[in-house]
Amino acid sequence: MPAEPFGPTVLKAFAWRFALCLALVLAATLRWGHALAEALLPFIAAEINALDNTYRIVSLDVVQRGGEELIRIVVTLARCVVLPDGAHCADPRAQAQVSTLLGHLTLPPTLAAAAVLAWPPASWREVVWRLLLLPMGLALLLALDVPMVLWASLWQLHVDAFAPGLFSPLLLWLDFVQGGGRMALGLVCAGGVLAAARALGERGLQRR
């Protein structure tokens, strides 16, 4: 077990282990990514419904379009949309749809999981904590990405149509995530799991 958390030996070990773990996790994602996305759709819908009752979800599914797999949501308005210029009430029969790539759901967790599995541990106790904490970190990562992106994309339709230039923290989050922030979130998730597992593992050793 390495004594120096960021020493050259640790970094070299991490480099080849990360490449191996990333290849394995990517292979698993390519094989089961579609099934994973299908399984997560009810949770994505539940999060969007919990965050905003403006929309009534008509469908949320994984579709193929132009050789790419997309997560697509189709909604109608459940109530009027209130913007600075007033309330906008559309025909309840009208539908809107937005989508995001299936890879946006799978790539950040893939990166985070590979980094967590590859970083050389200081003890077996730390390994156990990593395995316990990783699912929670991935769940938070997933909640911050695709559901928020779909929600923000729907909101952007109203802003672009009725209030262009409106400042919205939700749209800022959309720009951040779509601009490469989702990969940064994956690395932050991995770093948080590794740091927490290291701290909990060392605390367990100190009690002995």
Is pTM beyond 0.85? Reply is: yes
Give yes or no for a contact between 64 and 144, defined as CB atoms under 8 angstroms apart: no
* Per-residue confidence (pLDDT) for residue 3, from 0 to 100: 44
- List 62's β-bridge partners, or say none: 71
Check the CA dihedral 75-76-79-83 and report its sign. positive
What is the Cα–Cα distance from 27 to 60, expressed in whole angstroms?
26
Low-confidence ranges of the chain (pLDDT < 70): 1-7, 204-208
How many C-beta atoms lie closer than 10 Å to residue 164's C-beta?
A: 7
pLDDT in tens, 18-45: 999 999 999 999 999 999 999 999 999 9
DSSP state of 25: H
